[in-house]
Amino acid sequence: MNTIYLLTMKYISTRGKSQNLQFEDVLLTGLAPDGGLYVPKEWPILNHSKLKNDKYHKIAAEILYPFLDSFVSYDDLIKLTENAYRSFDVEEMAPLVKLEENRYILELFHGPTLAFKDFAMLLLSELFDLSLKKRNEKITIIGATSGDTGSAAIEAFKNSQNVNVFIFFPKGRVSEVQRKQMTTTDGQGVFPIEIDGTFDDCQNIVKDLFKDKNFNNEVKLGAINSINWGRIAAQIVYYFTSFKLLNNGPVSYSVPTGNFGDILAGWVAKKMGLPIKSLMIATNENDILSRALKTGIYSIDKTKATISPSMDIQISSNFERLLFEAYKRNASNIEELMNTLKETKEFKIEKNALNFIKNDFLATSISEKETKECIADVYKKTGYILDPHSAVGYAASKLMDDISGSIVTLGTAHPSKFPIAVEDSINIRPDIPERLKKIMNKSENFSKMEIDLKKIKNFISKNIK
């Protein structure tokens, strides 16, 4: 072990009213009672140069251990991470593919649902089951998805005896493959729910349900969206492993970004001591984060439907965690900003806070046309097929030419999950892996609901096991 950390890692809320919680409490509740998001009270430091060239699950255990306080022993955590990642189809877990000079794709789609969300969700299910068995309790997980989170959660928790899962997804705004991954499961206690609205509507439903303390206590709510700190922690790992694969040279990352969780994990890796040069926030035409960094105004616009639907988000929840750091952990400032956002749909980031963010982050928006052109250009030059989300990241990486060293784009999904978008770009449908072929002709089973909290609460109450 080469991590410097407090023996009693504690967690606090970005809005100040929840203090000194243990990891297990943060894991099971997800969203803080004050509406804020949990963050570690202090950041552990890790000597990345001493990380062994070991199997992914062992590196994961070393990086994650300081965040878990006394929840699990180090040896047991190694067993837990090994079990979580047993269903990946490549030994490297997160292989690095060179496409051009100093440009790489980090393939994060070799898990059971062919998307990067598997890294966090499979680990989360193991942690949940460990805690719930120890407590002899059951929990009701709710989550909003713009595509991949839902399928990853359902796959990870479908055989759990301690968890009910209710996933809200926006009508007509996920790909057919993404929808079928959610709606063809044979698992018990799993309920995909199509909401007549946008992803942001689905996310607001989750937040409103958590704010209802009586309902929360009645069904024992837990969260698996990236508002859950456990999700962020799991995603830190592949920044370290990819950096190691590049022999510790200068590296920057371009990250397809919607809810800001995956790129926040990269920033946390940097806080832990990984010498990342820059982090590119790569958005599609839903460009709230790009606009915020350019203007200092975080302003909600109408959500646009794009060929990269998992990024069709206006309210990037995890950005609150970064704002908390940018405002020097002043919780009252964050509460004021979030209240202003709720009332006026925008807020202004003060100059010092904005400079803090710009010190580590770049940001740009990639259009639909640019996304398709990127897929076509990369295929023509290399024969490699990008999915539209990864293409947004790769196109954005081209704007980092003045940065020395390697540039890694996070490949967040397998192209076969978005066959229409890929075919429109290169006139070729990507090959469908066997694990996807099995679900395409299966019958679907899901519920359809309006944005009606009372009816949604009743549905959840009636269906928990």
Between the CA of residue 341 and those of 19, 301, 314, 458, what are the distances in Å?
24, 12, 12, 29
Strand partners, 350: none
Buried b (16+ CB within 10 A) or exposed e, 432-443: beebbeebeeee
Dist. CA 183–CA 439, nearest whole Å: 9
Q: What 3-state class would DSSP assign to 97?
A: strand
Closest CA to 322 of 310, 334, 311, 313: 334
Closest CA to 424 of 388, 390, 460: 388
End-to-end alpha-carbon separation of the chain, Å? Answer: 41
Chain-centroid distance, C-alpha 141: 16
Structure tokens at 140: 């009701």
Integer-rounded Cα Rg, in Å, for the chain is 20
Strand partners, 347: 298
Residue 8's identity, in one-letter code, is: T
Q: Looking at 117, 180, 244, 270, which residue is catalytic?
A: 117
Dist. CA 161–CA 140, nearest whole Å: 11
* DSSP strands (E only) in 322-442: 346-348, 361-365, 406-411
Based on the residue annotation, tell me whether 328 is a catalytic residue of this protein.
no
Between the CA of residue 182 and those of 202, 250, 319, 436, 446, what are the distances in Å?
15, 39, 27, 12, 8
Structure tokens at 174: 């996920």
The answer to whether 34 and 16 have CB atoms below 8 angstroms apart is yes
Structure tokens at 6: 């407090």
Residue 224's identity, in one-letter code, is: I
Rounded (5°) CA angle 336-341-347 = 80
Question: For the chain, how are helix, strand and coil distributed in percent, rounded to 5?
Answer: 45, 20, 35
Catalytic residues: 117
